[in-house]
């Protein structure tokens, strides 16, 4: 995580390039899992500057992580059996600067 903003009303800001690679839509519901402290929360994703590598927890969620914490961002959906056979999840791994690895 690169930044937090307690005074914003909510959400997680994610570099729009990473959102595109992960097939996340603006305002899509996401789960955030903090690897450093075990905190878990649900919020929505908003796009940040492309190529910035920025990941910023906003609002009350900002209290659940520190700058430098490693977080996992997950989005998932319910599928019927026919859809499952055709579904290909998008997984994006990043380096320490949040660049696709």
Q: For the segment 55-94, what is each residue's pLDDT rounded down to a tens digit?
A: 999 999 999 999 999 999 999 999 999 999 999 999 999 9
Strand 29-34 relative to strand 71-74: parallel, antiparallel, unpaired?
antiparallel
Structural domain includes residue 93: no
CATH of the domain at 25: 2.40.40.20
- CA–CA separation, 35 and 38 (whole Å): 6
Share of the chain above pLDDT 90, in %: 90
Question: Is the pLDDT reported for residue 10 higher than 90?
Answer: no
Catalytic residue among 4, 8, 11, 29: 11
pLDDT at position 97 is 94
The boundaries of the domain holding residue 80 are 3-86
pLDDT at position 8 is 86
Q: How many domains does the chain have?
A: 1
Residue 75 a catalytic site member: no
Question: Is the pLDDT reported for residue 9 higher than 90?
Answer: no
pTM over 0.85? The answer is: yes
Query: Is the Cβ–Cβ distance between 1 and 54 less than 8 Å?
Result: no
Catalytic residue among 8, 16, 44, 75: 44
pLDDT band at 45 (very low <50, low <70, confident <90, very high): very high
Residue 11 a catalytic site member: yes
């Amino acid at each position: 995580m690169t930044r937090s903003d307690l005074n914003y009303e909510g959400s997680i800001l994610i570099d729009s390039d990473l959102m595109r690679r992960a097939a996340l839509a603006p305002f899509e519901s996401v789960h955030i899992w903090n690897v450093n402290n075990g905190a878990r929360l649900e919020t929505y994703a908003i796009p940040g500057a492309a190529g910035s590598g920025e990941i910023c927890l906003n609002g009350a969620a900002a209290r659940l992580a520190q700058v430098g914490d490693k977080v996992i961002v997950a989005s998932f959906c319910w599928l019927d059996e026919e859809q499952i056979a055709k579904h290909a999840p998008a997984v994006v791994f990043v380096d320490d600067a949040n660049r696709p690895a």
